[in-house]
Structure 1
Amino acid sequence: MKTNNSPSLIGQISSVHGSSLGVELNPNVRSGVVIIEGRAHRLGQVGSFVRIPQGYNDLYGIVSEASEAGEKSKDLSDKRMIKVELVGEAVGIDFQRGINQFPSINDDVHLVTETDLKKIYGFSGEDYVTIGRLSSSDSVKAGINLDSLVNKHSAILGSTGSGKSTGVVSLIRSIVGCDEGKVLRPSSRIIIFDLHGEYSAAFSDVANVYSVNPSGQEKNLYVPYWCISPDSLIDFLCGKNEQLKIKFIDCMVDLKRQYASENFPEIDSIKVTPYSPIPFDLKKVWYKLYYDDSVTWSDADRTIPAIESDGSVDDLLPPRFSPPSPGNAPPNKGGAGAFKRNLEAMRSKLVDGQYAFFLDPGPWSIGGNGSTDRRLENLIFDWVGDDFPVTILDISGMPSSRLDLILGSMLDVLFEAAIWGRFLPYGMKEIPLLLVMEEAHRYLSNDMNGVAKDMVRRIAKEGRKFGVGLMMISQRPSEIDDTILSQCGTFFALRINNASDRSKIKSAMSDGLSGMIDFLPILRTGEAFITGEATKIPMRCRFSLPPEGRYPDSKDPSVSESWSGNYKESSFKGLVINWHNQDARFDPGNN
């Protein structure tokens, strides 16, 4: 064993396997604690750094394992070993990821001091954002590269109770640059798809909130049916019926072309397709399809319908015809009645109030004047063009059957806007957009196929080219589609207890330090292991706490306090009324 009087020396390299090093700790550091620069440092801690001098350069590595070799040394004590993964090197004061040379057997290994940590994690410039402090040293700021975070996607993963929601709030407020009432990045474009209604309070000072069931300062969330994929719309309204779909699309295109010719003189109506985001009256489509499906004729030439009642387009009342006579006598049969069940299903959704934000989209509905009060550009402006940097789309309480279509439709609108505006000064290519996807496992699982998953897959693969980034948040990474998770360049892994979830993160990580994922179960609340494109090297840090009053509405109920109180008889009438109205915040009065 070499002798060296440096107080930071902890051992020598005993083996080199690529970027992995075996290090034998010196007998004089058996206590596991060294005092350097007035601070106590514990040795061999998984996740801590070591420094390996190489002339003018210093190599740096992270301790990934600690063990006893089992072989007795001269003083009859077991050899203590640590495994180190090389991560980068410093030339002077400049640290860079990767190494130019490998160390040799018996090279000295030193403990990393606070001065070294500041060299490793030092950052400057507008492209870096401070998000917290290193777990190993509170005096060292933890920063991430904003460009890499947005352009190359990210995932925030952690079990329930790990501080995930609070971490998301802290991270996004740091990105926006909320500082004592000021916003340092006022042109930020961040959309949060809030599935539990927990983020409104946390961002009320910097966000517009749109909700299906608005209250207080929240605004109505509308997703116009005419700007989403016609295939998804028809499947949702009528079920899967190819013959009906063809008739539906023909009728829809005719109405879109008519609307374009009357309201959009700048559009060549011949170029209008089923996928053109142009308004049309869905009730007229239903009426036309119902008419053609049930019509009978008073003459053999089928020019005079045997109609008994016209019904009503606006009130969704179907037309009534005289029943066909047997043989060749009039009235003659016209429509086959093959789609009656499908059209009744469509009508039931059109009259169902819980779908009003989608099928009766307020100012985006066609009114009595034959046009809408607001246009598609107004919808996009509401979501990404307002002076608030954050937009929260609150779709809490929505069941999975509707969630997939609505979420996928909103993503479709936003991504199409990014594609068609990529050469414009206000497009997402010039002012990027970050989409924050809460509860990602609900609609991105391996065994699920839907509009939302298709759109997220597309954005994950192509979003960078058009200025759209993803941030996925989940408590069950093992359920997220492999293709989507593999596209995430940065991982924020909080406490995760489930072995299969940890295994999923480990397999998706590109760093050779995937073995460090095994210590995720012992992370403290609000603490994360961060690795990937947005950080120079993997780091363990604690998120900065949001300011008072800016926490998400995800606090656990106080079970002991609640259950210890006096019994109070409860009436569940209000609950049932809320259930019927599909509004958890509705107050029916004294119930």
Structure 2
Amino acid sequence: MNKNDPTFLGTVSAVSGASVTVKLAESLASGLAIINGHTHRVGQVGSFVRVPQGYQDLYGVVCEVGATVAPPAISPDKIDTGRWMRVELAGEAVGSRFERGLSQHPNINDTVHIVTDTDLRKIYGYGESDQVSIGTLSSSENISVRLSLDSLVTRHSAILGSTGSGKSTTVSSILRSIVKPIGKDFGAPGARIILLDIHGEYSSALSDVAKIFRVAPQPGENALHVPYWALETNELLEILVGKLTENQEIAFADKIFELKNAAIQAQNFPGIDPRSLTVDSPIPFSLHQLWYDLIDFETMTFVGPQRDKPALNAEGNADTLTPPQYEPHAMGNTGPFLNQAAKGIRRQLNLLRSRLLDKRYDFILHPGQWEPRTDGSIESDLDVLLSGWLGHEKPITILDLSGVPSPFLVRLIGSILRIIYDALFWSREKTEGGTLRPLLIVMEEAHRYLSPDSGDMALSIVQRIAKEGRKYGVGAMIISQRPAEVDETILSQCGTLIALRLSNPADRGRVKGALPDNLAGLMDLLPVLRTGEAIITGEAARLPVRCRITLPSEEHQPKSTDPKVTEAWSRRRIAEGYDRVVASWRAQSTTATVADRKIVRIPVQDQTSTGEE
């Protein structure tokens, strides 16, 4: 190889496994090289290099530069501190085909070269349809960085970075690059992406490509409803009444099974055979009726010689949650007598009634058109719900959970993921299933509900998605500012890591431990990355890369930017109304008003000229 080649960097001086020590050429004094009119930075940590091997080329990423990289056999006083690099080899290209992994290793004194745009075309295969452009190389902004969409979805991914590092903007940019790349009307019009938006950041950023569901919907948005009867019984009972003893759980489960069985006897639900019914089957039943039947049994008293005649004074009403009235029990042998078969669940039933009356839980306990009547009949079935979430004309669905009570958030996320995953799992051989039309679930602020201490509801279903989702077309994208608090099993299953700036040592350690490549030197850059800059490694990136994420346009950026303190404080105060603050607080809505101002608008017609002076 001609060493006058402008791409020439140096020669191989040592090889250890996939690590290669490179001695830089004396001619590289400026740290810059101009190749085909483009400027390339030389010897930058995170940049790519190429090692020719005759009919094939080896490719690697620079992980360390300086005297510490020099072979130990060299005397310290003879080391030229700026003339050494450590490169981690990651793949090879035979002809125009690139593959991860190595079939051979370089030899001592083999030449090492800068990777140019032509080389990157070999690596990323710009002509391949599954490549998504998300940004540019930090060391060469004329070279775009592309990820494999297939690997990004099916092998799961994680976007990790401290607050203020650009996570939300990165998520918005990647999703927009998938469904609507710059300069195109649509890139993946048939995409199915569900975004769990914890803070309500993404509605404005993705409104043109997303259908938005919110607990307290704004104009143009849809109400978020989660039918309670689609959940597994143990999860539902944990939401409704908390922890139960085994006997108490059996009392609730038996009554739920009875109500579900009565519902399928009265109505023809497709796909259900009464002989295959279980307490977890997604069959509608009325919580009002459940409460009424159980409270009636618990409070019932008896009179008569055989103690078998109910001492009922007034019937209650299930619809209004009015309990039946019985004569109070008395001491002695005259009665009325308590129901000796009562299960001791009166306290739990009082909590259930309180939940049903609490407006904050209407989105799950009173789910609109999916709320069963007392006989179990419903206006709309789960097909309408799933069609609204997964089958609409836009590629992204945003489930805005910012209005959900904080103690209830983990349970709700687990419920939503359970409904989605079970639906796609059992429909995997149908065209609507995940196998033929995959689904990507984007989980924002994952450390809040995927830590080992967060409970089992969300954690268990996401662990299942991480381990098995690939086979059924369900991919996960985990977003977190505290990777150290995310369950290790879930993070280890993420085949692609997009790591933005991370300052906490524990968080950096978790990222290093999850990396598939030996890139410890590259990961040491995490504390000094610029906002919106990321190190990407794993299945979707054919080579580990330091990338500058493409910023969306200003109107398509999420509502997560820092307040402009100086600008805001430099303006003179205007009239303020803190009654509006209290109104929004009470209404749990950012757009609530103090008074409903009704303005009557009367159209004004122009006076036509009569022609008279």
Fold shared by both chains (TM-score > 0.5): yes
User: Cα distance 1:166–1:158, how it changes in 2: closer, same or farther (>3 A)?
Assistant: same
Moved more, 578-587 or 251-260: 578-587
Residues in 1 aligned to 2:544 and 2:429: alpha-carbon distance in whole angstroms: 36
- The Cα shift of 1:345 comes to 1.1
Q: Which moved more, 1:329-338 or 1:220-229?
A: 329-338
Among 258, 267, 276, the alignment partner of 1:254 is 258
| 161-170 or 559-568: bigger deviation | 559-568
- Alignment match of 1:501 (pick from 507, 511, 518): 507
8 Å contact from structure 1 (residues 32, 42) kept in 2: yes
CA contact (8 A) 1:46 1:63 kept: yes
**1:404/1:450 contact within 8 Å kept:** no
In structure 1, distance between residues paired with 2:239 and 2:35: 67
Matched with 1:285 is 290
So what's the TM-score if we normalise by structure 2? Answer: 0.91
Structure 1, unaligned runs of 5 or more = none
Q: Does 1:312 align with 2:317?
A: yes
178-187 vs 326-335, greater mean Cα deviation: 178-187
Cα drift, residue 110 of structure 1: 2.4
Distance, in Å, in 2 between the alignment partners of 1:169 and 1:504 is 24
1:112-123 superposed matches below 5 A? 112-123=115-126
The more displaced of 244-253 and 23-32 is 23-32
Distance in 1 (CA, whole Å) between partners of 2:491 and 2:588 is 33
- Report the CA distance shift for 1:318/1:97 in structure 2 as closer, same or farther (over 3 A): same
Verify the 8 A CA contact 1:114 1:137 in the aligned structure 2: no
Q: Displacement, 1:37?
A: 3.5
User: What's the counterpart of residue 454 of structure 2?
Assistant: 448
1:101 aligns with 2:104: yes
1:311-344, Cα deviation, whole Å (9 max, x unpaired): 2211111122111121221211215583222211
Alignment of 1:272-421 (within 5 A): 272-334=277-339, 338-367=344-373, 371-421=377-427
Match of 1:15, SS?
Answer: strand
- The residue matched to 1:5 in structure 2 has which SS? coil
**3-state SS in 2 of match to 1:280:** coil
Shift in CA distance, 312/156, structure 1 to aligned 2, threshold 3 Å: same
Is the Cα contact below 8 Å between 1:284 and 1:313 reproduced in 2? Answer: yes
Decide which moves more: 361-370 or 129-138: 361-370
Point out where structure 2 has 5 or more consecutive residues left out of the alignment.
598-613
504-513 or 518-527: bigger deviation: 518-527
Residues 346, 517 of structure 1: alpha-carbon distance in 2 compared, 3 angstrom cutoff? same
For 2:195 and 2:370, the matched residues in 1 are separated by 22
Over 3 Å counting, the alpha-carbon distance change for 1:496 and 1:79 in structure 2 is closer
Question: Structure 2 matches for 1:392-541, cutoff 5 A?
Answer: 392-541=398-547
| Partner amino acid, structure 1, of 2:316 | G
Evaluate the alpha carbon distance shift between residue 580 and residue 34 of structure 1 in structure 2; reply closer, same or farther with a 3 A threshold: closer
| Corresponding residue number in structure 2 for 1:84 | 87
Q: Which residue of 1 is the match for residue 607 of structure 2?
A: none
The letter for the 1-side match of 2:317 is S
- Name the structure 1 match of 2:610: none
CA distance in 1 between counterparts of 2:41 and 2:428 reads 52
Aligned to 1:557: 563
Any idea what the Cα deviations from partners look like across 1:445-473, whole Å, max 9, x if unmatched? Answer: 13222211111011111111111110111
Relative distance call for 1:128 and 1:250 in structure 2 (3 A) is same
Shift in Å, 1:183: 2.4
Change in 2 beyond 3 A, CA 1:265/1:73: closer
Does the CA contact (< 8 Å) of 2:15 and 2:107 recur in 1?
Answer: yes
Query: CA separation in 1, counterparts of 2:464 and 2:189?
Result: 28
Q: Partner amino acid for 1:536? A: R
1:279 Cα offset (Å): 0.6
Is 1:203 matched with 2:206?
yes
Query: Is the CA contact 2:251–2:343 (under 8 Å) kept in the aligned structure 1?
Result: no
Query: Which AA in structure 2 matches 1:323?
Result: P
Q: How far apart are the structure 2 equivalents of 1:113 and 1:388?
A: 38
**Distance verdict in 2 for CA 1:300–1:249, change over 3 Å:** farther
Q: CA 1:7–1:143 in structure 2 vs 1: closer, same or farther (change >3 Å)?
A: closer
> Which residue identity lines up with residue 216 of structure 2 in the other structure?
N
Separation of aligned partners in 2, 1:68 and 1:287:
78
Q: Residues 353-378 of structure 1, C-alpha deviation per residue, up to 9 Å, x if partnerless?
A: 00001101110112478521110111
1:46 is aligned to 45
Percent same amino acid at aligned positions?
A: 46
**Corresponding residue SS for 1:84:** strand
TM-superposed deviation, 1:507: 0.4
SS in structure 2 at match of 1:449? coil
Q: Write the distance in 1 (CA, Å) between the matches of 2:576 and 2:50.
A: 64
Output the CA distance in 1 between the equivalents of 2:377 and 2:269: 14
The letter for the 1-side match of 2:99 is Q
CA contact (8 A) 2:191 2:396 kept: yes
After superposition, the C-alpha distances for 1:472-502 in whole angstroms (9 at most, x for unaligned) are 1111111100000001011111122222111
Does residue 269 (structure 1) correspond to residue 268 (structure 2)? The answer is: no
1:22-69 Cα shifts (integer Å, max 9, x gaps): 112233324433344344433221011222222222222211101126
Amino acid at match of 2:539: E
Q: Structure 1 residues 234-243 or 509-518, which shifts more? A: 234-243
Distance 2:31 2:75 in 1: 18
Kindly tell me: are residues 463 and 357 of structure 1, through their superposed partners in 2, closer, same or farther at Cα, counting changes over 3 Å? Answer: same
Assess if the C-alpha contact under 8 Å between 2:177 and 2:187 holds in 1. Answer: no
Amino acid at match of 1:261: Q
**Mapped contact 1:226–1:277 kept (Cα < 8 A):** yes
CA distance in 1, matches of 2:45, 2:164: 23
CA displacement at 1:522 relative to structure 2: 2.2
- State the one-letter code of the partner of 1:273: T
The TM-score normalised by the length of structure 1 is: 0.94
Q: Which moved more, 1:222-231 or 1:577-586?
A: 577-586
Change (3 A) 1:288 1:41: same
Mapping for residues 148-297 of structure 1, pairs under 5 Å? 148-178=151-181, 182-242=185-245, 243-264=247-268, 266=270, 267-297=272-302
The structural deviation recorded for 1:571 is 4.9
Greater alpha carbon shift after TM alignment, 487-496 vs 520-529: 520-529
Q: Bigger shift: 66-75 or 97-106?
A: 66-75
Q: Distance in 2 between matches of 1:5 and 1:220?
A: 66
SS in 2 for 1:579: helix
Contact 1:300 1:330 (8 Å CA) reproduced = no
SS in 1 for 2:309: coil
Write the distance in 2 (CA, Å) between the matches of 1:576 and 1:270.
Answer: 54
Partners of 2:18 and 2:437 in 1: CA distance = 39
Which of 561-570 and 307-316 deviates more? 561-570
The answer to whether the Cα contact below 8 Å between 2:260 and 2:376 also exists between their aligned partners in 1 is no
Q: Deviations over 1:253-293 (max 9, x none)?
A: 11111111112264322322110101101011111111111
Mean alpha-carbon deviation: is it higher for 428-437 or for 265-274?
Answer: 265-274
Query: Partners of 1:342 and 1:45 in 2: how far apart?
Result: 63
Q: Deviations over 1:107-139 (max 9, x none)?
A: 222233333333333332222222222222222
Aligned residues: 590
SS of the equivalent of 1:155 reads: strand
